[in-house]
Amino acid sequence: MLSVTAGTVGDWSYPAKGGMDNLVAMWVAFAYANGHLFIVPNNVWCYSDEKGEHAYVGPDEVLLPLYRFVRRNERLLDGYDPMEQIGVVFGTGAAAKAADGDATRRGQTSPFSQTCKELVDSHYPFGVVFPGGVGGSRGFSEQDLQRFERLVIPQGVAVSSKQAAVLESWKREGRAVPWTDPASALRGIEPLIRVAEGKHVWVYPRKNSKDPAAPVVCHLFNPSYDGNRDSMIEQTNVVISLRSDFSNRRVRKVVYSTPYEEPQELPVSSAGGRIQVTIPKLILWGILRLE
């Protein structure tokens, strides 16, 4: 699913005050790393009670490297879809709303959002399963679920009897479980991706299902932003390991590209059914191309 991300006029009023241009760069990079588009932040309409209508104009030196990177890597972006190891059932009905409302009253993230956040932090790529009636969804079938190794159900999720029947066989086999925490809910699932402990990097694997010859890619995103300095906290020597079946063919070469440096080929090692590569430096966003 492709979407265009823009933000609200209120959102843009914050970077328009100045000193938040790298925060905007984060928004741009995060959108493209997840397969979406982002409005070019040039003369973006803003509104605040203090200044009324005004505009945010992003500086070329911060944003041009990102959009040039997108242009240079069109073939690694267009036609790509996310790789989804885990499925998350989206909540509907009164129970889900009650759980979300309770979390809001406690100043906490909703159960669904918290589940997704913990999956991202644990480096399990996931997709969302929509029951019938959500956003025009026809609901999910047994065949729809086959792409997942496990299905997790956040607190408060309720589905129709028809959808519950589809889930029942998965529950009996232990393939659909209530979400508690990653260690419990994902026990027995070999992670597709591992990131060395202590490194704050999110990894988004993507593949081009329509072109079997196209390389599998991993988008690397650095969420470590220092708001006081409007700068990224660079991540260095990040060791990433991928399950050997990550790609549909043997990986012989890995090329690492970023908006700020020339592409470089990185050494690859294999052991214990996994391939391993070390990222020398991640400022904001990079793409690993596996060939």
Q: Going residue by residue through the chain (291 aa), what tens digit of pLDDT does each one get?
A: 445 566 677 788 888 888 899 999 999 999 999 999 988 888 898 888 888 999 999 999 999 999 999 999 999 999 999 999 999 998 755 444 554 555 455 556 788 889 999 999 999 999 999 876 555 567 888 888 999 999 999 988 878 788 888 899 899 999 999 999 999 999 999 999 999 999 999 999 999 989 988 999 999 999 999 999 999 999 999 999 999 888 877 888 999 999 999 999 999 999 889 999 999 999 999 999 999
What pTM was computed for the model? Answer: 0.89
Instruction: Please tell me the predicted confidence (pLDDT) of residue 7.
Output: 67
- Given this model, what pLDDT does residue 94 score? 46
List of domains in the chain? 4-76 (no CATH), 84-185 (3.40.50), 191-290 (2.60.40.1180)
284, two tokens: 């904001």
CA–CA gap between residue 265 and residue 178 (Å, rounded): 42
Query: What is the model's pLDDT at position 95?
Result: 46
pLDDT value of residue 211: 93
Query: What torsion do the CA atoms of 67, 68, 70, 71 make, to the nearest 10 degrees?
Result: 120
pLDDT attached to residue 81:
95
